[in-house]
């Protein structure tokens, strides 16, 4: 009895010495969850995508040669999706970085401002799409105002096309990038700005030489995340765009194939979506790897 | 300090330097150098780029910039660390980089905001000497803010003691140290004992348990009925009550020993009078806690300050903790 107890203790300490503690078992439910709800569906979907018209990679070939039964231009949607997601993520950043930088020290009313900024995010894309249709549509307020002021002679086409979807994507994506950037900007040690200004740097020089380099890692992360968000766009593209042609996006193709029972094609489209995102993310993180990523503090606090 | 640097706008008053009004000039146009308490080095730049930052903003050519950066780094003995990132240096080294960065542009005025307070005790003393040497070599006018009495006394050519934004005393360090103007300044420069008393006849201060003969009584009393007597612990000798009183001791106060710490050669003693006043002093021999003892103080080492009401000593004690001093080596 005593020996076995001792042995058991030895085994225990052997396990602990390798950095495993009994608490490790607490991750088990999480691992199970991942396997059941993430890894299994991914493998299932991957497997399904290889069961196209004539098996193997035929579903992928069909995608790239535009031979899906319910989509005449499936390959084109890959470029459409990228053409929507990349600029919208970029525009969000270009808007969010300077505003977050200005607000990094906190300004009177910054809470109210963040609340207002967050509203489009909480309302959801359908609500935003409806609002934009009434505001920017051919008979919307903006066009009526511009016509009334004689600034234009026929309504601007801001909805039902590429522009409409891009505006909607920027509007829903901006709060997200802004909040992320505000966090990064507020994390920069304020004494660095003060040190730079005493050394002779004006506000512009401080932004370009101190704050922007320290924000770059955060900028890349924000870009990556808002790109991923915009890439899966579906409601905005359908409601504000023209999903029969110019703003037909990948998720729409997948939806179309899926709802017509063509699961292999839908899965192949989903895999292509994932790979396209991964390629963009890989490029972003490759750039990020070459940047300074250390602390944003100027020394002991 | 932030007002002088231009980081804050004054709500009242004005700031002048050499007959030019400064308080609405932005910090980047003032041509100052500043050393921060937390160093504030740019973490994404090398040590050399940190030091050269001010020079590059002043459009100093590349070759000259490199030369001046190297010279400044050599001055703070970091010549070989130029290519490193600040995070690869120790705290003392980082602070030296910050000093090099502040002086390399040869600014009109160098501001130092408690630059040594984040360093450990030994390094602090070493760096203090280095700052003094740098100042002697370069002769840059420097305003140095510190809460540390030893730093203030050893670095300053001119010392300004401030409390809650009000200047308490200005003068050479020796002057401030020898004859502080009020109890706050006295508490800051090491008069740790503050004893309440009533002003008696012929320069005596009645402190309840005893009466003190005071050499410099008069000018600072201003006819006030109450007084606070301030004495440095160094000037208080504590001895056991039953020890042979070789000669009649001046200003002997009966006390009870509370704590006695050996500090090499002497014992630092904290004792209490019957009235409850704490007395700090030194003893030649070990005194057990609870021992009855006598604290004696030479008449000329006491500074007395007139008070309109009793219990001024408590304010002095509180002030000791919060006092800030700034030295202006001119």
Over residues B109-121, the mean pLDDT reads 87
Say if residue A102's pLDDT is above 50. Answer: yes
Q: Which residues of A touch B22 (CB under 8 A)?
A: none
Backbone angles phi, psi at A183, to 5 degrees: -60, -45
Say if residue B9's pLDDT is above 80. Answer: yes
Confidence of residue B219 (pLDDT cuts 50, 70, 90): low
Over residues A240-244, the mean pLDDT reads 77
Range with the poorest average pLDDT among A91-100, B119-128, B168-177, B257-266: B119-128
pLDDT at A22: 73
Indicate the length of chain B as a whole number.
330
Q: Which residues of B touch A209 (CB under 8 A)?
A: 53
Give the angle subtended at the CA of B145 by the CAs of B110 and A200, to the nearest 5°: 30
User: Within an 8 Å CB–CB cutoff, is residue A44 touching chain B?
Assistant: no
Max CA pair span of chain B? 77
Backbone angles phi, psi at B270, to 5 degrees: -115, 125
ipTM of the complex model: 0.76
pLDDT at A205: 93
Please give the helix or strand (H or E) that residue B48 lies within, else none: helix B47-57
Say if residue A136's pLDDT is above 90. Answer: no
Say if residue A104's pLDDT is above 90. Answer: no
pLDDT at B248: 53
Confidence of residue A8 (pLDDT cuts 50, 70, 90): low
How far is Cα A301 from Cα A295, in angstroms, rounded to an integer? 12
User: Within an 8 Å CB–CB cutoff, is residue A215 touching chain B?
Assistant: no
- DSSP for B242-311 reads TS--SS--TTEEEEEEEEEEE-SSSEEEEEEETTS-EEEEEESS---TT-EEEEEE-GGG-EEEEESSS-
How far is Cα A225 from Cα A229, in angstroms, rounded to an integer? 6
User: Within an 8 Å CB–CB cutoff, is residue B117 touching chain A?
Assistant: no
Q: Which strand ranges, in their side-by-side order, compose the sheet holding B211-213?
A: B211-213, B204-206, B193-199, B226-231, B303-307
Query: Which of A107, A113, A298 is CA-nearest to residue A187?
Result: A298
10 Å CB burial of residue B187 (0-12, 13-18, 19+) is buried
User: Within an 8 Å CB–CB cutoff, is residue B33 touching chain A?
Assistant: yes
Max CA pair span of chain A? 98
Q: Which residues of B touch A295 (CB under 8 A)?
A: 43, 87
pLDDT at A70: 77
Over residues A22-48, the mean pLDDT reads 88
Q: Which residues of A touch B57 (CB under 8 A)?
A: 199-201, 205
How far is Cα A135 from Cα A117, in angstroms, rounded to an integer? 18
Backbone angles phi, psi at B307, to 5 degrees: -135, 145
CA A167 to chain centre: 16
User: Within an 8 Å CB–CB cutoff, is residue A297 touching chain B?
Assistant: yes
A299 and B53 within 8 Å at the Cβ level: the answer is no
Domains defined for chain A, CATH in brackets: 73-289 (1.10.3720.10)
A299 and B6 within 8 Å at the Cβ level: the answer is no
Domains defined for chain B, CATH in brackets: 2-171 (3.40.50.300), 190-321 (2.40.50.140)
Say if residue A2's pLDDT is above 60. Answer: no
Half-sphere exposure of B240 (CA within 13 A, CB side): 11
Say if residue B324's pLDDT is above 50. Answer: no
User: Within an 8 Å CB–CB cutoff, is residue B87 touching chain A?
Assistant: yes
Query: Which of A230, A233, A225 is CA-nearest to residue A281?
Result: A225
Say if residue B202's pLDDT is above 90. Answer: no
B38 and A301 within 8 Å at the Cβ level: the answer is yes
Q: Which residues of A55-86 are buried (b: 16+ CB within 10 A; e: fewer)?
A: eeebbbebbeeebbeebeebbebbebbbebbe
Contacts of B137 (CB under 8 A, 6+ apart): B75
pLDDT at B130: 87
How far is Cα B87 from Cα A73, in angstroms, rounded to an integer? 54
Q: Indicate left, alpha or beta for A9 from its phi (over 0: left) and psi (-120 to 50: alpha).
A: alpha
Over residues A104-117, the mean pLDDT reads 79
Determine how many CB atoms are found less than 10 A away from the CB of residue B195.
Answer: 28
pLDDT at A5: 62
pLDDT at B310: 67
How far is Cα B8 from Cα B27, in angstroms, rounded to an integer? 9
How far is Cα B176 from Cα B188, in angstroms, rounded to an integer? 10
Name the residue of chain A whose CA is nearest to B118's CA: A300
Over residues B100-124, the mean pLDDT reads 89
B105 and A298 within 8 Å at the Cβ level: the answer is no
Over residues A47-73, the mean pLDDT reads 84
Q: Say which residue the tokens 């997601």 belong to.
A: A85
A200 in Cβ contact with B54 (< 8 Å) = yes
Give tens-digit pLDDT for B27-47: 888 889 999 988 899 999 999
Confidence of residue B329 (pLDDT cuts 50, 70, 90): very low
Say if residue A286's pLDDT is above 80. Answer: yes
CA distance A280 to chain B (A): 26
How far is Cα A251 from Cα A231, in angstroms, rounded to an integer? 9
User: Within an 8 Å CB–CB cutoff, is residue A301 touching chain B?
Assistant: yes
How far is Cα A53 from Cα A59, in angstroms, rounded to an integer? 7
How far is Cα B45 from Cα B52, in angstroms, rounded to an integer? 10
Indicate the length of chain A as a whole number.
301
**Which of A191, A295, A296 lies at the smallest CB-CB distance from B36?**
A191
Mean pLDDT (chain A) is 85
CA distance A109 to chain B (A): 21
B47 in Cβ contact with B80 (< 8 Å) = no
Residue to substitute from B1, B33, B36, interface A, most A β-carbons within 10 A: B36
Say if residue A297's pLDDT is above 80. Answer: no
Mean pLDDT (chain B) is 84
pLDDT at B220: 65
A199 and B40 within 8 Å at the Cβ level: the answer is no
CA distances (Å), A267 to each of A15, A63, A213, in order? 42, 11, 41
Q: Which residues of B touch A212 (CB under 8 A)?
A: none
How far is Cα A61 from Cα A75, in angstroms, rounded to an integer? 10
Q: Which residues of B touch A200 (CB under 8 A)?
A: 28-29, 31, 54, 57-58, 105
How far is Cα B41 from Cα A191, in angstroms, rounded to an integer? 9
Residue to substitute from A187, A200, A291, interface B, most B β-carbons within 10 A: A200
Give tens-digit pLDDT for B49-90: 999 999 999 988 999 999 999 999 998 888 899 999 999 998
Say if residue B301's pLDDT is above 80. Answer: yes
How far is Cα A26 from Cα B61, in angstroms, rounded to an integer? 61
Q: Which strand ranges, in their side-by-side order, compose the sheet holding B32-35?
A: B32-35, B109-113, B142-146, B324-327, B159-163, B166-171
pLDDT at B325: 45
A201 and B41 within 8 Å at the Cβ level: the answer is no
Over residues B247-273, the mean pLDDT reads 84
Contacts of B99 (CB under 8 A, 6+ apart): B35, B76, B115, B131, B134
Confidence of residue A10 (pLDDT cuts 50, 70, 90): confident
User: Within an 8 Å CB–CB cutoff, is residue A290 touching chain B?
Assistant: no
Secondary structure percentages of chain B, helix, strand, coil, to 5: 30, 30, 40
User: Within an 8 Å CB–CB cutoff, is residue A196 touching chain B?
Assistant: yes
What residues form DSSP beta bridges with B273?
B255
- The fraction of chain A above a pLDDT of 70, given in percent, is 96
CA distance B173 to chain A (A): 29
pLDDT at A124: 75
Determine how many CB atoms are found less than 10 A away from the CB of residue A91.
Answer: 18
Say if residue A101's pLDDT is above 50. Answer: yes
pLDDT at B315: 67
Tell me which of A122 and B158 has the higher pLDDT.
B158
A192 and B31 within 8 Å at the Cβ level: the answer is no
The pair of three-digit structure tokens given for residue A112, joined into one six-digit string: 């109210």
CA distance A173 to chain B (A): 29
- The fraction of chain B above a pLDDT of 70, given in percent, is 87
CA distances (Å), A279 to each of A221, A224, A286, A290, in order? 15, 11, 10, 17
Name the residue of chain A whose CA is nearest to B27's CA: A198
């Amino acid at each position: 009895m005593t020996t076995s107890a001792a042995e058991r203790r030895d085994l225990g300490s052997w396990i602990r010495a390798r950095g495993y503690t009994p608490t490790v078992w607490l991750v088990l439910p999480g691992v199970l969850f991942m396997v059941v709800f993430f890894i299994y569906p991914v493998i299932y979907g991957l497997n399904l995508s290889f069961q196209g018209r004539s098996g193997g990679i035929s579903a992928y070939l069909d995608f790239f040669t535009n031979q899906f039964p319910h989509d005449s231009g499936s390959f084109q949607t890959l470029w459409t999706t990228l053409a929507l997601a990349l600029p919208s993520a970029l525009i969000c950043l270009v808007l969010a970085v300077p505003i977050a930088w200005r607000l990094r020290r906190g300004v009177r009313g910054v809470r109210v401002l963040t609340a207002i900024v967050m509203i489009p995010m909480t309302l959801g894309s359908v609500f935003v799409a409806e609002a934009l249709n009434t505001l920017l549509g051919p008979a919307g307020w903006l066009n009526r105002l511009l016509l009334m002021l004689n600034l234009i002679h026929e309504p601007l086409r801001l909805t039902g096309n590429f522009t409409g979807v891009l505006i909607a994507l920027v509007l829903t994506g901006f709060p997200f990038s802004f909040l992320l950037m505000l966090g990064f900007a507020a994390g920069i040690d304020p004494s660095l700005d003060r040190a730079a200004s005493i050394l002779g740097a004006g506000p512009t020089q401080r932004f370009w030489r101190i704050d922007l380099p320290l924000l770059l890692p955060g900028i890349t992360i924000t870009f990556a995340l808002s790109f991923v968000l915009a890439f899966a766009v579906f409601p905005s593209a359908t409601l504000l765009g023209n999903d029969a042609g110019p703003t037909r996006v990948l998720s729409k193709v997948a939806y179309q194939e899926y709802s017509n029972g063509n699961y292999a094609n839908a899965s192949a489209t989903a895999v292509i979506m994932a790979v396209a995102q991964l390629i963009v993310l890989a490029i972003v993180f490759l750039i990020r790897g070459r940047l300074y990523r250390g602390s944003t503090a100027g020394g002991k606090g | 300090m932030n007002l002088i640097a231009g980081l804050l706008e004054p709500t009242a008053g004005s700031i002048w330097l050499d007959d030019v009004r400064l308080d609405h000039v932005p910090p980047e146009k003032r041509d100052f150098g500043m050393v921060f308490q937390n160093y504030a080095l740019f973490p994404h730049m090398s040590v050399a780029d940190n030091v050269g930052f001010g020079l590059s903003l002043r459009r100093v050519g590349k070759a000259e910039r490199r030369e001046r950066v190297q010279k400044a780094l050599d001055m703070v003995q970091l010549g070989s660390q130029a290519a490193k990132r600040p995070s690869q240096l120790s705290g003392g080294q980082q602070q030296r980089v910050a000093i090099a960065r502040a002086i390399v542009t040869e600014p009109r005025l160098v501001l130092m905001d408690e630059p040594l307070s984040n360093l450990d005790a030994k390094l602090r003393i070493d760096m203090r000497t280095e700052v003094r040497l740098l100042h002697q070599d370069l002769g840059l006018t420097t305003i140095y803010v510190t809460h540390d009495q030893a730093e203030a006394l050893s670095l300053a050519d001119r010392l300004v003691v401030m409390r809650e934004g009000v200047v308490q005393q200005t003068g050479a360090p020796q002057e401030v140290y020898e004859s502080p103007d009020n109890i706050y300044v006295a508490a800051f420069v090491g008069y740790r004992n503050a004893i309440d008393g009533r002003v008696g006849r012929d320069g005596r201060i009645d402190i309840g348990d005893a009466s003190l003969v005071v050499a410099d009584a008069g000018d600072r009393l201003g006819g006030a009925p109450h007084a606070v007597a301030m004495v440095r612990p160094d000037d208080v000798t504590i001895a056991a009550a039953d020890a042979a009183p070789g000669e009649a001791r001046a200003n002997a106060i009966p006390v009870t020993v509370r704590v006695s710490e050996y500090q090499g050669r002497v014992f630092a003693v904290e004792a209490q009078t019957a009235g409850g006043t704490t007395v700090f002093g030194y003893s030649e021999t070990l005194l057990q806690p609870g021992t009855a003892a006598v604290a004696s103080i030479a008449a000329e080492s006491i500074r007395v300050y007139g008070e309109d009401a009793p219990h001024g000593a408590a304010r002095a004690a509180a002030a000791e903790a919060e006092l800030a001093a700034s030295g202006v080596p001119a």
